[in-house]
Structure 1
């Protein structure tokens, strides 16, 4: 599955921990996506997957979500993409 990164960001604060997002497209999918990431300490990540601009085919979203759940390398790639953009907030 070919993924093209559109944008990524991550912030850190004592209150929220690490909060990041990655906007990306998937080859063969008609819509683009955004994954939001959150971790208090940077090791256990929670996430939410959403359509980026407008709703699209739910089957494609669910297929992508299953892939993210099963493919640790893909999930790690998305987390590392956001971490690379980490901005410290005081």
Structure 2
């Protein structure tokens, strides 16, 4: 299953560390997603996954969550997309 990243951003503050958002779609799904990434030092990332525009199909976000947990290439691509927009 492929993905497409269509928007990304990241900011850094001494107090909060790195905070980024990436908007993306997964092939074969109607829902669009936004992942919020946070890391104090930029090496270990916590995240929150949400629908981007409106509530989507619950089964699809469950598949997306599982994909994020299992697909290091996807997760790394999302982190790199955000880091590339660091202001």
TM-score (norm 1): 0.93
CA-based RMSD: 0.7
Instruction: Please identify runs of 4+ aligned residues in structure 1 that moved more than 6 A.
Output: none
Name the count of aligned residue pairs. Answer: 87
Q: Mapping of 1:1-90 within 5 angstroms?
A: 1-87=1-87
Unaligned 5+ runs, structure 1: none
Gaps of 5+ in 2: none
Q: TM-score, normalised to structure 2's length?
A: 0.96
